Amino acid sequence: MTRTPLELTCAALLGLAAALPACGGSGDGAAAPAVRIGYFANVTHAPAIVALEQGYLADELGSAARVEGRTFNAGPEAVEALFSEALDLAYIGPSPAINAFAQSGGEAIRIIAGATSGGASLVVAPGITTPAQLAGKKLATPQLGNTQDVALRAWLKAQGLSTSLEGGGDVSIVPQPNAQTLETFRAGEIQGAWVPEPWASRLVLEGGGSVLVDERTLWPQGRFVTTHVIVRTAFLREHPELVARFLRAHERAVAFLNAEPEQARGIVNAAIARITGKALPDALLERSFAGLVFTVDPIAASLRKSAEDARAVGLLDAVDLDGIYDLGALNEVLAAAGRPPVSS
């Protein structure tokens, strides 16, 4: 099968991802094997941050393994780290997970839990109030083929506006790191961006932008998967008990985020400050969290729609997603906690 531009982009990152150093972690000794977990320093990855910072992962893994947390800018980078066996699990968006499954013939990864719904928007420059006004404009996304990139291209197509993977079409899309997007937006070099939180709120509060599309408005009941958890299939097969321990920590983190939102926000902000060098102001933090729902439900229907959208905009070949979910261990954790199961 001919490789799509997204697959070629991912493949080019292989060597970089394999060389990425650990960005933090805790454990019970260097002799224990490592469970390497990828995530972003974004509020949409709050369950990962809480699981690490609250010690839930270290607690659940105990002496069985030590945990290593590694940060990434966007999903395709994390996928290549998984492919190169430099990573075992990752908090990631739907589009990179779909591509990883397709690129490996359904072998490399499995989705084992949901994490976050919501928290993505198209923020545009003042004066832009309709889709038609985007013609001739330049917009940014975090990376070619990532979840927000697919969402933007699919939405523009629905509005009758063309794009190309090379940055041409009625609307030019420029993939770039989120921090750079804030700078280029403020400088007027781009006129908008489809980005996750806290970057969408930063474009509004620090860049003077306005929300043209809150992605929640595009989905039934406003629910769509922004972040879920994937695992290397080989790691799942070889270490099912470690995966189960991870999921217990993950469930605890999601429960804590929902039960103690104010305390959780502080924990997440402190971690973001340590990783990025800058904490989020209180107003930004509150606005960023306002549109998020933390859940272990992977919201499978939205994943399948994302695959259809990626195919429609030329980022993915036709793919059969049967087998992409393995929710057995999660449902055992939920049953033990007295909670209902989730479905694929």
Give the domain-ending residue among 221, 250, 265. 221
Query: Domain containing 52: what range?
Result: 5-119+222-336
Amino acid at 163: T
| Residue whose pair of structure tokens reads 């990752």 in the numeric block | 90
230 in the same domain as 214 = no
186 in the same domain as 320 = no
CATH of the domain at 249: 3.40.190.10
Reading the block at residue 258, the tokens are 């929902």
* pLDDT of residue 205 exceeding 70: yes
Task: List all residues 6 or more positions away from 273 whose beta carbon is below 8 Å from its beta carbon.
Answer: 279, 280
Q: What is the rounded CA–CA span in Å between residue 251 and residue 249? A: 5
Pick the residue with more confidence: 41 or 130? 130
Q: In 39-172, where does DSSP find H-type helix?
A: 46-53, 56-61, 75-83, 94-103, 147-158
| Total of domains in the chain | 2
Residue 146's pLDDT is: 87
Q: What is the rounded CA–CA span in Å between residue 141 and residue 152? A: 8
pLDDT (tens digit per residue) in 5-39: 444 443 433 333 333 333 444 444 446 789 999 99
Please say whether the beta carbons of 191 and 122 come within 8 A.
Answer: no
In a domain, 178, yes or no: yes
pLDDT (tens digit per residue) in 281-298: 999 999 999 999 999 999
pLDDT (tens digit per residue) in 160-191: 999 999 999 999 999 999 989 999 999 999 99
Give the domain-ending residue among 182, 206, 221. 221
In a domain, 343, yes or no: no
Closest Cα partner for 10 from 142, 146, 140?
Answer: 146
In a domain, 146, yes or no: yes
Sheet holding 192-196, edge to edge: 172-175, 138-141, 192-196, 120-124, 210-214
39 in the same domain as 113 = yes
Interval 39-58 mean pLDDT? 96
149 in the same domain as 109 = no
